[in-house]
Structure 1
Amino acid sequence: MLKRTRSLLALSLAVALTTSSLPAMANSLNLPDIGTAASGTLTIDQELVYGDAYMRMLRNQAPIVNDPVLNEYIDSLGHRLVANADDVKTPFTFFMIRDRNINAFAFFGGYVALHSGLFLHAQSESELASVVAHEIAHVTQRHLARSMEEQARRSPATIAALAGSLLLAIASPEAGMAAITAATAGNMQGQINYTRSNEKEADRFGIATLSKAGFDVNAMPKFFTRLADEYRYASTPPPMLLTHPLPADRITDTRVRAQNYPQTRVPESVDYHLAKARIVARYANIKAASALDWFNRTEKKSSPALKPTFQYGRALVHLDNREFDQAKTILLDLYQQDKNNLFYLDALSDLYIGLKMPEKASEMLEKALKSTPKNPVLMINYGNTLLAQEKYEQATRVLQRYSHDFPNDVNGWHLLSEAYTKLGQSDEELAARAEILALRANWNKAIQYYTQASQLAELGSLKQARYDARIDQLMVQRDRFMALQ
């Protein structure tokens, strides 16, 4: 559960729970047109502001998986669906939270979170895609904003208070539902019905998106049915069933709708199963022996075409245990089968660094970068191998470009900070660390680091001007963030 900090979420929740504080909250808001109850919903621009703020809070509080390979896979899958969705009005960002509970949620600004536990329960890429498509539909149909508008008609709470409690509800269902109940006592039945209506609409748009994107439309009712059967008598259902209830009529509705679309046979996705293997090996919170046992048992029940995915999973277990000889045998064989596979390239890069042979990793990555020069997995690994070779000047150039292209990835800033430390450039190191703090909504500390960097830079230099300009930007972002409180 998210910690209660002095933030948008905590203060909005406090407003929802304490009606006497509503006037003060309303007066402190500095955003146009948010207003009070029944004054209309948020604009798209305001949703983007809320989404950015909440994402920064999540980076600071939730166990977000900052894995470049998994992020690339999720991003590719998500944008394949977005490209086939209707009514897209915002950019989309897909990310993973390390949590074995089955859950996914979307919030303002096109942010879609997937729990790692989804991969442990989805049996195919189409099943995972069905959940992602459903969440995309929640965003495109603006269900969160519409729910707030509906609640504003029934409750004295402000839009800001409802935003806070609803954002908490989608990520922490039990706490969030309690907040909504407190803010809207006596009107929960209407909210539940409205939510169920949204769920059916998200299913309808989600299935259409699945079909246009080339996935198996039957995956949605199949996944829903298995989930409902598994937790039918559970005393504590997974978070997904708290925020996405699965009554029988909803499952039936998705099954009937799926029958109206062309029935296509979708081959198994090797990349999906590679991602699943990576999660089992590294993010399932199980011991190495248990992971190896899972790969052995599951492989016996799977298609021979998926054998490389289980081999890859075993290689990761050996790699993480520093059993480099076993990992090397497997990974080199996989690499020979598919030299452009990002999963294999990433693992081999780590292997060569572990073997004190980073130059071999660089050579391999340079070849791959010639065909896809801006691929984030290749770029971040290449920067890392240059650091391992103590080529710090070259590493900073690669990592500067990476952080420019992917400014929201903390991995790039961490490596850039390390490179500047090795070069003895304290001001640039502070600047890189400040960017990480800003991504986690620690505005004051970020501004402090940039101020220190400016003081270290040569007086009147372009570098000092750059730091000072960034300080001004961060102060504007901080004030905008604090205005949401």
Structure 2
Amino acid sequence: MKDSMIRGRRPGLAALVLALSVAFTPAGPASAQLPSLGDSSDISASTERRIGDRIARELYRDPDYIDDPLLHEYVMSLWQPLLAAARQRGDLNTELDQRFAWQVLLGKDRSINAFALPGGWLGLHLGLVASSGSRDELAAVLAHELSHVTQRHIARLMSREKRQTPWMIGAMILGALAAAKSPEAGKAVMTGGQALAVQNQLNFSREMEREADRVGLGIMSQAGFQPQGFAGMFEKLQQQSRLNDDGAYPYLRTHPLTTERLADMQSRQVLGGRSAAPVDWEHAMMAARARALSAGGTEALRNVLREASSTPADAGDLRQAGVLYAGALAASKLGDHATALRLVDQLGAKVQQQPAAMRASRVLAGEIALAANDRQRIAPWVDEATGSGRPEVLLSARAALRAGQPAQAAQKLQTWVALHPQDGTAWQLLATAHAAQGQPARAVRAEAEAQVAWMDYAAAMDRLRAAQDLARRGSGSDHIEASIIDTRVRQVESLLREQALER
């Protein structure tokens, strides 16, 4: 997978990762071989978590970050069984289990990419979700990235980088001494020394990729996913990206050749046996959703919409459902609400015998109705019990706000955030509901809680101070709310002090 810590489209973030790895990595003894499976690194779990949190704060601010309730829920439905399997196998020890975040952040990027970060944070591009042909293929990617974390690959790489620093300095000193006799000899010694150090680092990374493949395959099999998902994903990388398989200088790659990894996974599946993957309607809906949400710009959305009208009738129900879903969402984003409603109605008729796909279709229909301000279609989401999942709760709250019933929206959201206090999007909606009810102190405190969820503690503190002022100045003050605000001020101040110590 193209899953090094951060890849090229975000140079600022890549620089941050590099800076953090230098700033937090203690010196250690020299080592030339990959540690055996499960060996520890010089980086403590708490330090690795702090590094990951700092990077995650930047990802939350990245314009590509997307909190899509349906897609996030689907990805987590694959992620949680993988975590449970890693625990059962003994790959995930108690310390890492308790200290790490174990969160997956989604990005709208269309590239086929996923990456592991320090501290149990993972990044997943919607392009990879869109290109995956089954939940097994997507689970393979998540299992591979999970294995990078459980095997402490990131911490070990950071330790390795620090260990090599004296080697590279030594090579430069030798080069300076040789230059006194021959400038060309000095240059050759310094260049050769640096090249050897870089080659050792690349070899180290390749072994980690093979280890993540091997451990990840065991985890996903334990979790009940079909192992052919690994080979399927490698085949897609081979066909669509072709970046790891151009045949040039394989000894300079940080990842093993895709063909090597594909052959390895196929041989393991022959030994373990293969079974046919079931037809997966829910995954088809989620891949279609990812395709539409990652379409950048008007022309890309129009291409998605054109596919919905050009797919032949004999393409199969699953294929047709996928293009209808993506087309309806694309039409809605283009402001063509009539087409969006027509396509989503066709989709509903096609998937009515498939419960998971029907649910995805119903949520999409509600989103389109809100975008079109179709009050008749919005009404069921306000008045009826629409389900207890996060997509339904957030959509129902938005429908209640649109219908001019902020108290009903606030009630739904207050119950949700009490159980899920790290849901920044829900807190933001709750802030809107409180403001619509004329409760400014509560609204501003909810805005602060959203910033806490996104780990922007400075912004949270600003909002909490504002909430304190509003609570003091308001007539008939809500003493319970004022007490909550005062408590949260002290807690967020503590978090800010911890951040200052990290810097």
Say if 2:394 is the partner of 1:376: no
What secondary structure does 1:382 align onto?
helix
- Per mean C-alpha deviation after superposition, the further-off stretch among 384-393 and 475-484 is 475-484
Letter in 1 for 2:367: D
Cα distance change, pair 192–35 in 1 and its aligned pair in 2 (3 A): closer
Q: Summarize the Cα distance change of 1:405–1:14 in structure 2 as closer, same or farther, 3 Å threshold.
A: closer
After superposition, the C-alpha distances for 1:160-196 in whole angstroms (9 at most, x for unaligned) are xxxxxxxxxxxxxxxxxxxxx9xx8852222211111
Give the superposition deviation at 1:135. Answer: 0.7
SS at match of 2:115: strand
With over 3 angstroms needed to count, the CA separation of the structure-2 counterparts of 1:250 and 1:278, relative to structure 1, is: closer
Identity %: 26
Mapped to 2, the partners of 1:242 and 1:403 lie a distance apart of: 45
Which residues of structure 1 form unaligned runs of 5+? Answer: 17-24, 27-33, 158-180
Greater relative CO, 1 or 2 (CA 8 Å, sep 6+): 1
For residues 59 and 431 of structure 2, what CA distance do their matches in structure 1 show?
A: 22
User: Structure 1 residue 427 and structure 2 residue 445: aligned?
Assistant: no
1:79 aligns with 2:111: no
Deviation at 1:141, TM superposition (A): 1.6
Letter in 2 for 1:47: E
Shift of 1:451: 0.9
Moved more, 349-358 or 194-203: 349-358
Q: Please give the TM-score of this superposition, normalised by the length of structure 1.
A: 0.79
Please say if residues 442 and 481 of structure 2, whose CA atoms lie closer than 8 Å, have aligned partners that are also in contact: no
Structure 1 residues 244 and 122: CA distance shift in structure 2, 3 A: farther
Summarize the alignment of residues 42-191 of structure 1 with structure 2, pairs less than 5 Å apart: 42-85=43-86, 86=89, 87-88=91-92, 89-90=96-97, 92-155=102-165, 187-191=197-201
The whole-number CA distance in structure 2 between the counterparts of 1:124 and 1:47 is 32
Shift in Å at residue 205 of structure 1? 1.4
The answer as to whether partners of 1:57 and 1:440 remain within 8 angstroms in 2 is no
C-alpha distance in structure 2 between counterparts of 1:399 and 1:243, whole Å = 46
Cα RMSD for the two superposed structures: 3.4
Structure 1 pair 193–15 and aligned structure 2 pair: CA distance change class (3 A): closer
Q: Which residue matches 1:160? A: none
Tell me the equivalent position of 1:436: 450
Corresponding residue of 1:393: 407
2:105 alignment partner, SS class? strand
**Cα gap change, 1:298 to 1:481, in 2 (>3 Å):** farther
Contact kept? 1:134, 1:205, Cα under 8 Å: yes
After TM superposition, the structure 1 stretch with the greater mean CA deviation from structure 2, 379-388 or 204-213, is 204-213
Q: Are the counterparts in 2 of residues 37 and 156 from structure 1 also a CA contact under 8 Å?
A: no
Instruction: Report the CA distance between 1:282 and its aligned residue.
Output: 2.7
How many residue pairs get matched?
437
Q: How far apart in 1 are the matches of 2:324 and 2:21?
A: 52
Greater Cα radius of gyration, structure 1 or 2: 2
- Residues 120-161 of structure 1: CA distance to partner in whole angstroms, max 9, x if unpaired? 43333322222111111111222112222333433359xxxx
Distance in 1 separating the partners of 2:158 and 2:20: 17
Q: TM-score, normalised by structure 2?
A: 0.76
- Is there any run of 5+ residues in structure 2 with no aligned partner, and where? 1-8, 30-39, 168-190
**Mean Cα deviation higher: 344-353 or 298-307:** 298-307
Which of 413, 416, 420 is the matching residue for 1:406? 420
Residue aligned with 2:66, SS: coil
Q: Residue 280 of structure 2 corresponds to which residue in structure 1?
A: 269
Question: Contact 2:127 / 2:291 at 8 angstroms: preserved in 1?
Answer: no
Q: Given that residues 430 and 450 in structure 1 are in contact (C-alpha distance below 8 angstroms), is that contact kept between their aligned partners in structure 2?
A: yes
Q: Which residue of 1 aligns with 2:334?
A: 321
What do the CA deviations read for 1:285-315 (whole angstroms, capped 9, x no partner)? Answer: 1433211233456667854333222222222
TM-aligned CA distance change 1:233 to 1:47, over 3 Å = closer
Counterparts of 2:228 and 2:63, CA distance in 1? 33
Counting only pairs closer than 5 Å after superposition, residues 215-234 of structure 1 correspond to structure 2 as: 215-228=225-238, 230=240, 231=242
Structure 1 position 387, deviation (Å): 0.6
